[in-house]
């Protein structure tokens, strides 16, 4: 998957991409993430990317020309997989008689061009899963009072918001999106099934997790997680998912179509460790004590 991030603060974005799963996925070739400096596509000596709004008012508005040029640059070499230097792209776009002189995204482009904007629909896990299958995604980071509305009307395919609050720019939302999409790429996570159990997968929040030590200042790990009875452990996890979603995100819970088994589980008490599996629990206890002693954590 190829992701291009268009921003006026490239160093801020690059620094954040150099860590954890995103860094490993990039180094292993699972994703190709490039940070594009919007100022490289300004055509004045001051590299201006914003201007005063028509009609008056406070703040500045991001100009359409640098954005259009940057998008044309990122889509012109799409079929060949090559990225020309910005100055070569600008020469090509501005050449007399060039069909792309208007600097619009190529009509043949398959790229999804996303503007981060608080007016857009909210980014969620379903959107992440859909976009993770794209071959080419361009994230345009909004800033200041916003962008010239002709960008929204003519140059982007999507607008997206990460929540009902206002940030100083679109860099943080773009990084959130990149992180969410990268971890969904096959091979990005050590556990191939990890994303199937994420919160919001199937509109359910995730169940509680525990690790060593088994007891800390009197706070115990639930006994059922130590019993070795995997079917009962799954029932316990499912019960917590249902209860947590119902209490914390009722709007998600109302979307669920519960099976008869889920209905019984949800309305019943919290599952506990089977009392007849003492031998299993004894072996599990012995193994846990040995792990506590050896300290085999990651």
Catalytic residue among 51, 84, 134, 198: 198
Active site residue 118: yes
CA angle (250, 208, 240) in 5-degree steps: 45
Active site residue 145: yes
Say how far apart CA 87 and CA 75 lie, in whole Å: 15
Placement of tokens 């929040």 in the chain: 205
Catalytic residue among 69, 183, 237, 281: 183
Say how far apart CA 25 and CA 131 lie, in whole Å: 17
Q: Contact at 8 Å (CB) between 104 and 155?
A: yes
Catalytic residue among 66, 118, 173, 271: 118
Say how far apart CA 166 and CA 177 lie, in whole Å: 16
Structure tokens at 268: 């019943």
Q: Contact at 8 Å (CB) between 28 and 164?
A: no
Structure tokens at 292: 């506590």
Say how far apart CA 160 and CA 181 lie, in whole Å: 14
Catalytic residue among 51, 145, 179, 206: 145
Active site residue 186: no
Active site residue 274: no
Q: Positive or negative, the Cα torsion across 101, 107, 112, 116?
A: positive
| Residue positions annotated with a catalytic role | 118, 145, 183, 198
């Amino acid at each position: 998957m190829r992701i291009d991030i268009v921003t006026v603060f490239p160093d801020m974005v690059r620094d954040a991409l150099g860590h954890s799963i995103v860094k490993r996925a990039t180094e292993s070739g699972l994703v190709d993430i490039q940070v594009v400096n919007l100022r490289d596509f300004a055509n004045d000596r001051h590299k201006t990317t914003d201007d005063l709004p028509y009609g008056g008012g406070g703040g500045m508005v991001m100009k359409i020309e640098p954005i259009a040029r940057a998008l044309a640059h990122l889509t012109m070499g799409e079929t060949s997989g090559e990225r020309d230097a910005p100055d070569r792209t600008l020469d090509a776009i501005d050449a007399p008689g060039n069909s792309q002189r208007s600097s619009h995204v190529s009509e043949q482009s398959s790229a999804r061009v996303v503007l981060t904007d608080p007016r857009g629909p909210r980014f969620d896990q379903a959107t992440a899963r859909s976009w993770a299958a794209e071959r080419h995604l361009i994230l345009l980071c909004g800033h200041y009072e916003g962008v010239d509305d002709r960008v929204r009307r003519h140059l982007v395919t999507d607008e997206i918001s990460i929540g009902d609050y206002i940030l100083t720019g679109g860099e943080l939302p773009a990084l959130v999106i990149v992180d969410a999409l990268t971890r969904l790429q096959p091979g990005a996570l050590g556990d191939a099934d990890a994303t199937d159990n994420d919160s919001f997968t199937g509109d359910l929040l995730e169940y509680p997790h525990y690790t060593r030590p088994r007891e800390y200042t009197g706070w115990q790990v639930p006994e059922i997680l130590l019993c070795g009875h995997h079917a009962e452990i799954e029932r316990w996890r499912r019960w917590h998912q249902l209860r947590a979603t119902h209490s914390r995100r009722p709007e998600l819970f109302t979307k669920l179509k519960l099976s008869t088994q889920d209905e019984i589980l949800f309305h019943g008490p919290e599952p506990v460790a089977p009392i007849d599996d003492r031998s299993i629990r004894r072996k599990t206890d012995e193994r846990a004590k040995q792990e506590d002693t050896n300290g085999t954590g990651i």
